[in-house]
Amino acid sequence: MTLSPYPAYKPSGVDWLGDIPEHWEVTRLGSHFLERRTKVSDKDFSPLSVTKNGIVPQLDSAAKTNDGDNRKLVKKGDFVINSRSDRKGSSGVALQDGSVSLINIVVEPTGVHAKYCEYLLKSNAFIEEFYRIGHGIVADLWTTRYEEMKSVIVGIPPFLEQTAIATFLDQKTEQIEQAIAIKQQQIALLKERKQIIIQQAVTQGLNPNAPMKDSGVEWIGKIPEHWEVKRLKFLCSLISEKAKINGKTVIALENIESWTGKYVKTESRYSGEDVAFIRGDILFGKLRPYLAKVYAALDSGVAFGDLLVYRPTKYMFSQYCFYQMLSEKFIATVDSSTYGSKMPRASTEFIGEMFFLAPPLPEQTAIVTHIETQSTQIDQAIALQQQQIDKLKEYKTTLINSVVTGKVRVSDDLCDCVAQIDQDRLGGRYA
């Protein structure tokens, strides 16, 4: 399939479209879409969620209201879009009948190919125009009403061409998504490899020929003969002294990236006081420990909320403690101690009684150097894969925008193929 410009263009009269193919219809969106405003109950019509991935059965994690009798009807084939700018990109064609909250706009396409409609109205170019014409009192939260939406100028090609465009974009986007999925699998394998390196290094050391002994601890297994095994509470002190925030660095759960220990900067919204930490302390997330929120402090500050602060003794190198606490089996063992179903938290007493490894300090340092050298190489490979994913997503966005706004056309062969299928269908071959 080849992409090339159309032979002739005309001005659409609006910036978001620019010039469009000469034979396309320039019209207001309201001429091809009818608003559906029927109010129904979610007892009669199953609740649907409007997400960036389309219209799906209501998610368990979705915000619920007590106003289930005051919803909008959605029929299969309708296009639904969230009217609020903080839900930008949440839209799609419904694959089933149902109901959505009143914050959504529901429209029925008329004379427009359903899949073409979805590509057009989910294109980045349209999304930006949709929210641009909205109204609101703050810069980052706008609402667009149907009265504003229906006035948007769109370019509509003939129906057969819509079908050809939809077919082409289905094929291309599927190829792009498959390529993205492969790269995401590669990232998952790289992260798994990193965890294996950490687990092996912190529990078995770096000398494959070292005499080994049974640690007596199931999650640890065999360890070098000269290593010691002690309770964590004897190797790392649990800190409880408080400090007022007063401009100090605040670390909360959202500031720690899962499984990497990297700091994630967020806007500070904390006040009061909580547990003080200093450089070298290890912050461990006790809420949902399976998320592996572990952080080695680079400076002093205040650990806020569900973070435990551990201070390694003189027998322990801080970074070695960090990697041991970040190891997959350590996290799994801590997670086994949680209590509470909705907000599971680890037992502080359980963690303190856990067995912890204490190799000689020089070995701890060597292990950390080995892990960080290997991790750097893996992180670089992950970053490269992520860059390629970002480029594929950018290409997908650009491709859809270009095709649905007529900047490029799909090949004549595809258009002819679609036309032939249509003729065959009319002739009864596809009864």
Asked if domains 1-7+157-208+360-431 and 25-156 share a fold, the reply is no
The answer to whether residues 335 and 289 touch, using CB atoms and an 8 Å cutoff, is: yes
What does DSSP assign to residue 31? G
Does the pTM exceed 0.95?
A: no
Please give the backbone phi and psi of residue 64, each rounded to the nearest 5 degrees, phi first.
-105, 150
CATH architecture assignment, domain 228-358: Alpha-Beta Complex (3.90)
pLDDT tens digits, 117-137: 999 999 999 999 998 998 876
CA–CA gap between residue 363 and residue 358 (Å, rounded): 10
pLDDT score recorded for residue 415: 53
pLDDT tens digits, 8-49: 999 999 999 999 999 999 999 999 999 999 999 999 999 999
CA–CA gap between residue 152 and residue 133 (Å, rounded): 9
Q: Per-residue b/e over 104-120, b at no fewer than 16 CB within 10 Å?
A: bbbbebeebbbbbbbbb
Residue among 327, 323, 326, 352 nearest 337 (CA): 352
A 10 A CB-CB count for 335 gives 15
Q: Supply the mean pLDDT for the chain.
A: 92
A 10 A CB-CB count for 343 gives 10
Average pLDDT over residues 137-156: 86
CA–CA gap between residue 405 and residue 127 (Å, rounded): 13
pLDDT tens digits, 166-191: 999 999 999 999 999 999 999 999 99
Residue 271's Cβ-count burial label (10 Å; 0-12, 13-18, 19+) is exposed
Q: Per-residue b/e over 177-206, b at no fewer than 16 CB within 10 Å?
A: eeebeebeebbeebeeebbebbbbbbbbbe
Pick the CATH number of 1-7+157-208+360-431 from 1.25.40, 1.20.58, 1.10.287, 1.10.10: 1.10.287
Q: What are 170's two structure tokens? A: 């289905």
Rounded to 5°, the CA angle 211-215-218 comes to 130
pLDDT score recorded for residue 412: 60
The answer to whether residues 93 and 115 touch, using CB atoms and an 8 Å cutoff, is: yes
Q: What are 350's two structure tokens? A: 């359980």
Q: What are 125's two structure tokens? A: 């170019």
pLDDT score recorded for residue 64: 55
Q: What are 376's two structure tokens? A: 């750097």
Pick the CATH number of 25-156 from 3.40.50.150, 1.25.40.10, 3.90.220.20, 3.50.50.100: 3.90.220.20
How is the chain split into domains, by residue range? 1-7+157-208+360-431, 25-156, 228-358
CA–CA gap between residue 303 and residue 294 (Å, rounded): 12
pLDDT interval class at 427 (50, 70, 90): very low
